[in-house]
Structure 1
């Protein structure tokens, strides 16, 4: 379903504070999924040709931090292709530290985003045209998608993933 219609007169369905809480709830759950991984499997375990979860986590980090800053400023850096391994920490602790830094960036930047910014049409990362609220929803959807892959990995290793409803 395409949702690119102009929404300049649309009322907010959810407050910006509630949306931040929703997103950060997902981020908290994803953090617990990272914590559940054994250190040696986080960077190497794969099923069916999917990437290791650490690489997926780096993708989420590389989208969320710059993404929220761009939502605030309207200045989107063009990205041809993300390289999720170039700055990836080599330990779970390092990955969690980076995750937490992005969480702080989101919390610090979010209050600077006016509700009107979410209704503006922009080209995210130099290639994805859409209304900013759709771009934000993509950030959340992408995270949920990759967390689902992590849950498959955890179950394949015999590890119970965090309950998805405990955000």
Structure 2
């Protein structure tokens, strides 16, 4: 009997849930240092080529990460929210970032290993597996952090080393 790739993956785990959360939290730490590197005004106003300010990108990330993991863990769907009241200072954004990190850690341990292959519809609209949703959260963060690196360089600021996670 021929074994499918999906069946093989179940038999031979390549990355554990602990490995995955540690990888993601390494990226989150790097993104936090990227936020810190911005001057206050530039964080909220600097743009290039029609892209959004990094503050708006970060609010998108905040709307996805913690709430997404909470939804995966609890099964309770909530609409995607990328707007946060009183998020008009970098210090408040960093506070929200830290709260999201704690939320991720709290709900992550509630996700059972067998759930990662489960099909879900995150935020009531994006279909995939738990794994693919988490990989999207991570990939989206990397994408926006790369945009922030371009912004920082255009401001004459050396961004944090991308490999120091």
In the other structure, the counterpart of 2:119 is 121
- CA RMSD between the two structures: 1.8
Q: Partners of 1:6 and 1:114 in 2: how far apart?
A: 21
Q: Provide Cα deviations, 1:115-136, integer angstroms capped at 9, x if missing partner.
A: 1111100111111111110000
Alpha-carbon offset, residue 161 of structure 1 = 0.1
Query: What's the CA shift for 1:88?
Result: 5.5
Q: Which residue of the partner structure matches residue 34 of structure 1?
A: 35
Q: Distance in 2 between matches of 1:33 and 1:114?
A: 32
Deviations 1:60-115 (A, max 9, x none): 00000110101112222244xx4x34536111100000000000011111111101
Return the TM-score normalized by structure 1. 0.90
Distance change (3 Å), C-alpha of 1:20 and 1:7 = same
Could you list the structure 1 runs, at least 4 aligned residues long, displaced by more than 3 angstroms after superposition: 5-10
Alignment of 1:85-96 (within 5 A): 85-87=83-85, 89-96=87-94
Query: Match for residue 151 of structure 1?
Result: 149
1:1-150 aligned at under 5 Å gives the runs 7=6, 10-11=9-10, 12-79=13-80, 82=81, 84-87=82-85, 89-150=87-148
What is the number of equivalent residue pairs in this alignment? 160
Structure 1 residue runs of 5 or longer lacking an equivalent are none
What 5-or-longer segments of structure 2 have no aligned partner?
none
More helix by share: 2
* TM-score normalized by the length of structure 2: 0.91
